[in-house]
Structure 1
Amino acid sequence: MATTFLRELFLCVALYYILRHVVSRLLSCFSPLPPGPRGFPVVGALPLLGSAPHVTLAGMAKRYGPVMHLKMGQFGMVVASTPDAARVFLKTLDPYFSNRPVDAASVRLAYGGQDLVFAEYGPKWKLLRKLCKLEMLGNKALESWAAVRRDEVGRMLRSMHASGRKGEPVMLGGMLIYTIANMIGRVILSGRVFETKGSEANEFKDMVVELMTLAAQVNISDFLPAVAWMDLQGLEARMKKLHKKFDRVLSRMVAEHEASKGEREGRPDLLDAVMAIRDGPAEEKLTNDNVKALLLNLFTAGTDTSKGTIEWAMAEMQLNPSILRRAQAEMDGIIGRNRRLEESDIPNLPYLQAICKESFRKHPSTPLNLPRISTQACEVNGYYIPKNTKLFVNVWAIGRDADVWEHPLEFNPDRFMTAKGAKIDPRGNDFELIPFGAGRRICAGVRAGVVLVQYMLGSLIHSFDWSLPEGSKPDMGETFGIALQKTVPVAAMVSPRCAPSVYD
């Protein structure tokens, strides 16, 4: 009798999977896959992407359409390249694309995907996101650390002022990462991460840039698991080495923070809140790796994305000095030159806001957004999308779509000064401008990102006149990564344009 039961159970399970496969095949017949390049045997379209996949995929979209399918080794990938296509995937079908793929980057760099960025959509991800919102990234939390932002920006301006007096160029990217990392450190750990802009800060900057670059590389092992053990590109070896560096830094931060717990009585910070849950009930318990992975997210994504947007905006204004002068004139009329720009001034500075939006549009910090994966088969615009298909939204292509933006290759903040343009918001509801993504997996730091970019960029514009070192020329080359890097960092000469008391 038991044997008969087991035989019937086996037949039922087998029949279930056969029927599911047949239904899937029938659906794919009635609704074909989206169009896309044929690719090559075994490897598919992998060799076609090159060193700038966002550019390559944007070119392909002009031929194959706003929703493309590419066979990538053993897996499928779908790419959305217009606002309407992005809206379908990130809003209408958001529940189907709420997870991230488990790739080498999340495993090797993000503690096995135990962080906020790559964690599976579920209770632990919701808990991490809730903590970050309550303690750091929500509107109320942002207001609570406004004084930290003001103090660290003041330190940055003083340092730049000193460099200007010495006739030394300001290395803008390094200065921004140093400043933002200290802001984040004071909120998370109740202390500055770097006291001087020495070798330790420079090494951290290089580590952040390397992580963003490595994590975005097209890794053959992710698409051809059978050859993963060979690590043909050497990417996983580099990821492991970089992970060890970050783990040493993060472990030290956690240990020092625990040792100084008695000094923060009545003044808990974000890491205190996370630690309390780590030691709490089993159903909500966070591991040490969860804690370190969350710190990794906040320090890397929080620094490099904002830094990149500001650096690109300053580079564009070096090419278009009239934009810089107009922004300074707007600020002189509202603020004058006898005090610093304050965050409360920003609502009265529409041209500054327009410059920030234009930088988000032309130089999105994450050009292909972060990948998602379909948890079940679905249909998009009459096309069949199989389960376990990777999704990329080409935010870079959307920002340069001539059907959406007039003269999209021009850096022109005036496009956001019209009644229609002024209403466009970069925080996930207007799909022609989604630098932080959209839907339930939108960047957790979207509010903080907008505030940091507006306040820091505005402070740089208001406080200094900017010029290139003698003999140098603007370089707008891109290096692809999770965050789009300037190939040649901005190095500029600054001269004060405000009263001396502004830099005290």
Structure 2
Amino acid sequence: MEANIGFLSLFLLVPFIHFLTKGFWHQTDSKENQVCKQSYPLPPSPTCLKPWPIIGNLPQLLPNKPTFRWIHKMMDEMNTEIACIRLGSTNVIPITCPQLSREILKKQDAIFASRPLSISTFLITKGYITTVMVPFGEQWKKMRKVITSELLSPMRHKWLTDKRVEEADHMVKYVYNQCKNNEGGGIVNLRLATQHYCANVIKKMLLNKRYFGEEMEDGGPGLEEQKYLENVFTMLNYIYSFSASDYIPCLRGLDLDGHEKIIKDAIRDTGKYQDPLIEERVREHKKLGNNKEAQDLLDILISLKDKNGEPLLSLEEIKAQVNELIMAAVDNPSNAAEWAIAEMINQPELFEKATQELDAVVGKNRQVQESDLSQLNFVKACAREAFRLHPVAPFNVPHVSMADTSVGDYFIPKGSHVILSRVGLGRNPKVWDEPLKFKPERHLKDDGSGVVLTESELRFISFSTGMRGCVASGLGTAMTVMLFARLLHGFSWHVPPTESSIELTESQNDLLLAKPLLAYAKPRLAAHVYNTGN
């Protein structure tokens, strides 16, 4: 219904748009003629997608939701690993080929180092004053330096180890309580457990706080906290969501598809928990000055000074960056752990291999610690396979070409939005044997060397790479492997008594399991091991 309303509204607005952009169509023709003069053609477009004047392929896009499935279906039908879709005046170029992806993020990384403008990213970043979603420029350089040198350095990572371990202990105890209260075994909602573990880790590191609302008696999140995290995921779901107004700027403010209201509501509802805490901490710093000892990353952000001894970051920059860091940490590890355990329940022999490794490295008289992670190669292979087969998002964050260039045998005009397909790369049959099968052993190396979650050759995307790659891959790896290792070491996981197997079906609208994973857990360790006192 929403798509139909958007399509009708866009159709009725075409004459109005034409009036506002008088002369634009001739300009576009001129640009296309320039493209024809290039040595290479544009990437192929489906023959059925003849662009409309001014609005391009938006009329075809709007009724075909979710957009990512429509794009991938078209590329499969065309048997191509690169395509070009015209949305408004923008060339959107999806890619499923590792070689082309490497050319973009390695060979021509500097050309593709910018980000597109969109209503969702403008609102979430408070006018592009953060890092990940900010176009290339001085603000991005400033904030990236802050993140890499002040927040995510090896020294800071080590400094915050206890906070990460505390949340891993808390998560294990929460799962254990589900078993303890049900005569030795119990049904656990693994989506709830994994997502809130990730949120708790980043909030503890940033704000020295686990939950904003009341904690449940079993250690789980209360209703307020669950609603808070739902709003974080809402923001994630609507970033770069192919909104018509992002490609035809004169439509902004009309909110034809309702995205703007949804984003504004989510920002408001998360901000009412985060922002007062940040404001109070800033006041505390002003009062105590240099006498306040840093307890978390928020203290670090507030204490940074410029060359004149003034605060390096404004209050709005701090609020926006805290929000972006929380968003960046919650989805990837939790999605990988939920999918991996779902797959492994249906292949019990994988559990056997993983627990044998864990028992050999860790034993059964203590919990897994971060110092153990480097030795857990099969566990990491399982997590890596989840990233490959079950990415958290269909595309990576878009890269904008800052100059005309060519990739492969195709011309990429300046201003193009290049989107690397996480789905298409990770499930590419030209790269992966049995691409739709969960096979962790494919990532184990013959020489027995260590498994890593990063993938520099872009055969799949875990944390991306290049100038705009994830600067927190070390933290992301630690969070992912610790989460997965603690769940596998502490518990055996089974199909619920009322089911015969886990249904491994993707949601129609995203790449999550269609239903949150409800699995039957039983403790593997002695009771005293779970009593962390947390």
TM exceeds 0.5? yes
Which residue, out of 32, 47, 62, partners 2:41?
A: 32
Deviates more, 1:442-451 or 1:173-182: 173-182
Which residue, out of 79, 95, 105, partners 2:94?
A: 79
Q: 1:422 to 1:488 in 2, by over 3 A?
A: farther
Q: 1:52 to 1:322 in 2, by over 3 A?
A: farther
Q: 1:417 to 1:113 in 2, by over 3 A?
A: same
Instruction: Point out where structure 1 has 5 or more consecutive residues left out of the alignment.
Output: 1-17
Deviates more, 1:160-169 or 1:350-359: 160-169
Could you tell me how far 1:428 is from its partner in structure 2?
4.8
Alignment of 1:86-125 (within 5 A): 86-125=101-140
Deviates more, 1:96-105 or 1:303-312: 303-312
Superposed CA deviations along residues 4-45 of structure 1, whole A, max 9, x for unmatched, are xxxxxxxxxxxxxx9xx7898166443211112241424444
Could you tell me how far 1:331 is from its partner in structure 2?
1.3
Q: 1:420 to 1:238 in 2, by over 3 A?
A: farther
Corresponding residue number in structure 1 for 2:174: 159
Which residue, out of 270, 283, 291, partners 2:318?
A: 291
Contact 1:395–1:434 (8 Å) recurs in 2: yes
| Aligned partner letter, 2:465 | A
| Cα distance in 2 for residues equivalent to 1:390 and 1:30 | 20
Corresponding residue number in structure 1 for 2:504: 476
| Aligned partner letter, 1:58 | H
| Cα distance in 1 for residues equivalent to 2:337 and 2:267 | 27
Contact 1:361–1:399 (8 Å) recurs in 2: yes
Deviates more, 1:287-296 or 1:427-436: 427-436
Q: 1:420 to 1:200 in 2, by over 3 A?
A: farther
Could you tell me how far 1:479 is from its partner in structure 2?
4.1
Instruction: Point out where structure 2 has 5 or more consecutive residues left out of the alignment.
Output: 1-26, 216-220
Deviates more, 1:384-393 or 1:24-33: 24-33
| Cα distance in 2 for residues equivalent to 1:23 and 1:72 | 14
Q: 1:284 to 1:439 in 2, by over 3 A?
A: farther
| Cα distance in 1 for residues equivalent to 2:482 and 2:448 | 21
1:182 maps to 2:209: no
| Aligned partner letter, 1:170 | V
Corresponding residue number in structure 2 for 1:5: none
Could you tell me how far 1:224 is from its partner in structure 2?
2.8
1:353 maps to 2:368: no
Which residue, out of 192, 201, 223, partners 1:199?
A: 223
Aligned length: 484
| Cα distance in 1 for residues equivalent to 2:292 and 2:104 | 46
| Cα distance in 2 for residues equivalent to 1:245 and 1:479 | 25
Contact 1:52–1:479 (8 Å) recurs in 2: no
Superposed CA deviations along residues 107-148 of structure 1, whole A, max 9, x for unmatched, are 122212222111222333233222223344233322222221
Could you tell me how far 1:59 is from its partner in structure 2?
3.6
Corresponding residue number in structure 1 for 2:408: 381
| Cα distance in 2 for residues equivalent to 1:28 and 1:247 | 50
Corresponding residue number in structure 2 for 1:459: 486
Which residue, out of 330, 333, 358, partners 2:357?
A: 330
Corresponding residue number in structure 2 for 1:486: 513
Could you tell me how far 1:280 is from its partner in structure 2?
6.9
Corresponding residue number in structure 2 for 1:245: 269
Q: 1:460 to 1:22 in 2, by over 3 A?
A: closer
TM-score after normalising by structure 2? 0.84
Q: 1:213 to 1:385 in 2, by over 3 A?
A: same
| Aligned partner letter, 2:322 | L
Alignment of 1:427-446 (within 5 A): 427-446=454-473
Corresponding residue number in structure 2 for 1:501: 528
Deviates more, 1:284-293 or 1:196-205: 284-293
Q: 1:24 to 1:45 in 2, by over 3 A?
A: closer
Could you tell me how far 1:48 is from its partner in structure 2?
4.7
Contact 1:427–1:447 (8 Å) recurs in 2: no
Contact 1:358–1:411 (8 Å) recurs in 2: yes
| Cα distance in 1 for residues equivalent to 2:240 and 2:519 | 29
Corresponding residue number in structure 2 for 1:6: none
Q: 1:433 to 1:29 in 2, by over 3 A?
A: closer
| Aligned partner letter, 2:262 | R
Q: 1:170 to 1:402 in 2, by over 3 A?
A: same
Contact 2:389–2:436 (8 Å) recurs in 1: yes
Question: Sequence identity, in percent?
Answer: 26
Q: 1:26 to 1:200 in 2, by over 3 A?
A: closer
| Cα distance in 2 for residues equivalent to 1:76 and 1:421 | 44
Q: 1:380 to 1:503 in 2, by over 3 A?
A: same
Deviates more, 1:275-284 or 1:209-218: 275-284
| Aligned partner letter, 1:83 | P
Greater helix proportion:
1
Superposed CA deviations along residues 454-490 of structure 1, whole A, max 9, x for unmatched, are 1110110000011233324523333478x84333111
Could you tell me how far 1:100 is from its partner in structure 2?
0.6
Could you tell me how far 1:395 is from its partner in structure 2?
1.7
Contact 1:36–1:64 (8 Å) recurs in 2: no
- Pairwise CA RMSD of aligned residues? 2.7
Superposed CA deviations along residues 414-438 of structure 1, whole A, max 9, x for unmatched, are 1012428967744352221322111
| Aligned partner letter, 2:347 | N
Alignment of 1:193-272 (within 5 A): 193-194=211-212, 196=215, 197-261=221-285, 262=288, 265-267=292-294, 269-272=296-299
| Cα distance in 1 for residues equivalent to 2:525 and 2:277 | 38
Corresponding residue number in structure 1 for 2:341: 314
Contact 1:277–1:285 (8 Å) recurs in 2: yes
Which residue, out of 51, 59, 67, partners 2:65?
A: 51
Contact 2:383–2:481 (8 Å) recurs in 1: yes
Corresponding residue number in structure 2 for 1:142: 157
| Cα distance in 2 for residues equivalent to 1:282 and 1:428 | 41
Deviates more, 1:432-441 or 1:118-127: 118-127
| Cα distance in 2 for residues equivalent to 1:82 and 1:284 | 45
